[in-house]
Amino acid sequence: MARRVWMALLFAPVLLAATPVATPPASPSPAARASGPVLQLTIDGTINAATVTYVRDGLRQAQARGAAALLIQLDTPGGLLESTRLIVKDILASPIPVIIYIAPSGGGATSAGVFITLAAHVAAMAPGTNIGAAHPVDGQGGNIEGTMGEKVENFAASLSRTIAEQRGRNVEWAEKAVRKSVSATEREAVKLKVVDFVATDVADVLAKANGRTVDVAGKPVVLALADAPVEPIPMRLGQKIFDFLANPNLAYLLFMAGLLGLYVEFTNPGLVFPGVAGVICLLIGLAALQMLPVNYAGLALLVLGVGMLVAETFLPSFGVVGIGGIVAFVLGSLLLFDTPDDALRVDRGLIAGTAVTLGAFILGLGWLVVGAHRRRPASGAEGMLGEIGQVRRVDAGGRRAKVFVHGEYWEADADEAVAVGDAVEVTAVEGLRVRVRRHATQ
């Protein structure tokens, strides 16, 4: 028994050394992002549906090519809240690091641009740029009043807050940018931890972002951008066209030109060109309106106003219908776009100029139509009535004659006897003969 105890004590250290020891799992180390190209998008203008497809195409290409990052150079006055939300959603879920660079100098990221910048994995600004002023406004650039205004503001504030929290940025400033329209220069934005750093150009952005650890789809990734080539990705032709058409002023003018062209064609059948041009402008204008937040009540008022202006030329309303048409036209123009961003609204000067021009055109056309109706006919049987001619030959005791009238010779029946050389007035046209009477001055 004693021998067994001694043997156990002798081999115990060996057995303990051979027994595996459980160790706590080590925290995952950041993975280095494979060194690939940096694809660059350039957004210079409002945020709209075309911008959404542009960013999504860029993210798809970056993922397919194993890009080291997607860099978006941003300079925007704002845009549609729904389009902004979709872009933010894509950036937050992106499997590729996204770098937002607010540039060039003199540019900025206001309104919708604030949300996009906050969502980036790395955010940088060029010298002389600014960011902020994300408070939602109505289509006329004023505050949205009442419960709707409160709802829109709370939604925008919560969106900016949650984005800032996820990216580790200044949550308090992000909310103030929405509720109080605060703005910051590039230096102030770095101090406030709204963006990461100031960079003079794209190469400087990549140099300063190189080696940073960012959270990409829930995993820490080290950016390897030191020698990454930059490849610009321009908008496709279709995206450029839709981005160009997403201008509310252009959409408004195209729609009005289409209506005017169709009106000219309907009132003057056979001209062809106004009808063809009107249909093309109207279809392009409707395509542009599809990309914008159209208020259909405003669109209905706009069409009603144009219809009333056209009706003024045919109805003896003494201007009442025309004035009502101008009022409906202006109200429809003001209400046409329902958006909380003043960057996407029809310019007030354009509305005033279009209303005055269209009103003057329709009323002027009506005046010409009325004048034409009052003017004596210049041709046909009606054009002969009242014409003065001269008797060249008489028969049947002066009751039948041949007269020269309106540059032609006519057989005439006279109400009373006439003589050669008498001036006569045409009182009726009966087939190929005219009825005449001695002219009152004779």
Same domain, 208 and 162: yes
| Count of H-run helices and E-run strands, the chain | 15, 17
Residue among 242, 354, 244, 240 at smallest CA distance from 306: 354
Q: Are residues 201 and 273 in the same domain?
A: no
Last residue of a domain, one of 236, 262, 280: 236
Please name the amino acid found at residue 364: G
Residue with tokens 């490849």: 231
In this structure, are 193 and 313 located in the same domain?
no
Q: What is the pLDDT of residues 95-116, one digit of tens each?
A: 999 999 999 999 999 989 999 9
258 and 369 inside one domain? yes
The CATH number of residue 429's host domain is 2.40.50.140
428 forms bridges with which residues in the sheet? 435
Pairing of strands 400-405, 69-75: unpaired
Find the domain containing 67 and state its range. Answer: 31-236
Please report, for residues 97, 105, 431, the alpha-carbon distance to residue 209 in angstroms, rounded to integers and kept in the order given.
Answer: 11, 20, 96
**DSSP H helices in 192-314:** 202-209, 237-245, 248-267, 273-290, 296-312
The CATH number for 144's domain is: 3.90.226.10
What is the pLDDT confidence band of residue 196, given thresholds at 50, 70 and 90? Answer: very high
Higher pLDDT, 127 or 371: 127
Minimum mean pLDDT range among 11-25, 180-194, 248-262, 275-289: 11-25
Contact 183, 132 (CB under 8 A): yes
**pLDDT greater than 70 at residue 316:** no
* 109 compared with 141, residue with greater pLDDT: 109
Please, which pLDDT band fits residue 9 given cuts at 50, 70 and 90? very low
In terms of average pLDDT, the best of 89-98, 145-154, 265-274, 375-384 is 89-98
Pick from 71, 85, 156, 176: nearest CA to 121: 71
Tens-digit pLDDT profile for residues 344-393 = 567 777 777 777 877 777 667 666 666 655 665 555 566 677 788 888 88
Q: How many domains does the chain have?
A: 3
Arithmetic mean of pLDDT over the chain: 80
342-375 CB burial, b ≥16 within 10 A, e <16: bbbbbeeeebeebbeebbeebbebbeeeeeeeee
- Distances 229 to 94, 102, 123, 196, 226 between C-alpha atoms, Å: 21, 20, 19, 22, 9
Based on the domain organization, do 433 and 312 belong to the same domain?
no
Q: Are residues 208 and 296 in the same domain?
A: no
Question: What pLDDT was estimated at residue 331?
Answer: 82
Q: Do the strands 219-222 and 230-232 form a parallel or antiparallel pair, or are they unpaired?
A: unpaired
Average pLDDT score over residue span 51-77: 95
Position 168 confidence tier, pLDDT thresholds 50, 70, 90: very high
181 and 63 in a common domain: yes
User: 419 pLDDT exceeds 80?
Assistant: yes
173 and 305 assigned to the same domain = no
43 and 189 together in one domain: yes
What is the rounded CA–CA span in Å between residue 211 and residue 222?
6
What gap in Å lies between CA 248 and CA 256, rounded to an integer? 12
* Residue 360 belongs to some domain of the structure: yes
Residue 25 in domain: no
Is 202 a member of any domain? yes
Choice between 148 and 328, residue whose per-residue pLDDT is larger: 328
Residues 214, 257 within the same domain: no
Q: What are 197-226's pLDDT values in tens digits? A: 999 999 999 999 999 999 998 899 999 998
Strand order of the sheet with strand 219-222? 31-32, 219-222, 213-216
Q: What are phi and psi of 146, to 5 degrees?
A: 75, -160
Least confident of 74-83, 102-111, 120-129, 238-247: 238-247
User: Quick one: which H or E segment has residue 412?
Assistant: strand 408-414
Domain final residue pick, 184, 210, 236: 236
Mean pLDDT of the region 124-145: 73
Q: CB burial class (10 A; 0-12, 13-18, 19+) of residue 305? A: buried
Asked if the structure places residue 18 within a domain, the reply is no
pLDDT, residue 354, reads 76
User: 300 and 205 in one domain?
Assistant: no
Least confident of 22-31, 148-157, 180-189, 406-415: 22-31
Distances (CA, A) of 85 to 81, 113, 382: 6, 11, 70
Q: Is residue 16 one of the residues assigned to a domain?
A: no
For residue 179, is it within any domain?
Answer: yes
Are 117 and 264 members of one domain?
Answer: no
Buried b (16+ CB within 10 A) or exposed e, 280-300: ebbebbeebbebbbbbeebbe
The answer on pLDDT for 166 being more than 60 is yes
pLDDT at position 324 = 80
Contact 99, 79 (CB under 8 A): no
More confident residue, 93 or 327: 93
Which of 374, 394, 428 lies at the terminal end of a domain, its last residue? 374
What pLDDT was estimated at residue 106?
94
Give the percent of the chain with pLDDT over 70: 78
Calpha distance 198→179 (Å, rounded): 26
Q: Is residue 22 part of a domain?
A: no
Has residue 343 got a pLDDT over 70?
Answer: no
The answer, yes or no, to whether residue 20 has pLDDT greater than 70, is: no
Residue 112 lies in a domain: yes
Contact 230, 206 (CB under 8 A): yes
375 vs 409, more confident: 409
Confidence of residue 22 (pLDDT cuts 50, 70, 90): very low
Distance CA 155, CA 159 (A): 6
Task: State the pLDDT confidence band at 313, using cuts at 50, 70 and 90.
Answer: low
